[in-house]
Amino acid sequence: MIKPRVKICCISSIEEAMTAIAHGASALGLVGHMPSGPGIISDALIEQIARKVPPPVSTFLLTSETRPQNIITHYKRVNTTTIQIVDALEKREYEALRKELPNVKLVQVIHVADESSKKEAIEISQYVDALLLDSGNPNLPIKELGGTGRTHNWEISRQIREAIQIPLFLAGGINKDNVKQAVQVVQPFGLDLCSSVRTDGKLDPEKLEDFFKAIDF
Ligand SMILES: O=C(O)c1ccccc1NCC(=O)[C@H](O)[C@H](O)COP(=O)(O)O
Render pLDDT for 123-134 as a digit per residue (tens, 0 to 9): 999 999 999 999
> Residue 11's domain spans which residues?
5-214
Averaged pLDDT score across all residues of the chain = 96
Alpha helices (runs of H) in 38-176, residue ranges in sequence order: 43-52, 68-78, 94-100, 116-124, 154-163
ipTM score of complex: 0.95
In the prediction, which pLDDT does 187 show? 97
Residue 171: CB within 6 Å of ligand 1? yes
Cβ atoms 181, 170 nearer than 8 A = no
Q: What is the CATH number of the domain that holds 33?
A: 3.20.20.70
pLDDT digits (tens, 9 = 90+) for 74-107: 999 999 999 999 999 977 789 999 999 999 999 9
Indicate the pLDDT class of residue 26, thresholds 50, 70 and 90: very high
Question: 10 Å Cβ neighbour count for 95?
Answer: 10
- How many angstroms separate the alpha carbon of residue 127 from the centre of ligand 1? 22
Q: Indicate the number of domains in the chain.
A: 1
Indicate the pLDDT class of residue 37, thresholds 50, 70 and 90: confident
Q: Pick the atom of ligand 1 nearest to 151's CA.
A: 21
Give the predicted TM-score (pTM) of the model.
0.96
pLDDT(2) > 90? no
